[in-house]
Amino acid sequence: MYELKVITNFSAAHQLKDFQGPCESLHGHNWKIEVCVTSDTLNETGVVIDFRALKKHVNAVVAGLDHKFLNNLDPFKDQNPSSENIARYMAEQLALVLNGPTIKVSRVTAWESETSCATYYPS
């Protein structure tokens, strides 16, 4: 089994409704996003996927989040834009364009600080 990881960043504001703590107030983070894909096989050039292609797909999803108020975006209208939900959203969006017979999105981690992150493992 091979696993590839790409890392990117984005900045955005959010607030966690009904949180009953400081994160209920409007605030922002500089998120670090780690995306991992797995495959049992390599293609004819000896790679799972070209890192440039993987980064292109990841950056396309991140572009919709960067410098936004996440609560106003459709994916987060009915759920809090927590690190957990951001990781899941990214995994689901990337699975639509990456998952195939030989490659799968295996996990996405959303770091909201240097010491706090949430990881989503698609089933």
- Specify whether 44 is catalytic: no
Q: Contact 35/54 with Cβ under 8 angstroms? A: yes
Angstrom distances, CA of residue 12 to CA of 1, 2, 72, 77, 120: 34, 32, 11, 15, 20
Active site residue 117: no
**Catalytically annotated residue among 23, 84, 92, 117:** 23
Point out the catalytic residue in the list 3, 24, 27, 67.
67
Mark whether 67 is an active-site residue: yes
Q: Which of 29, 34, 36, 112 is catalytic?
A: 112
What residues act catalytically? 23, 67, 112
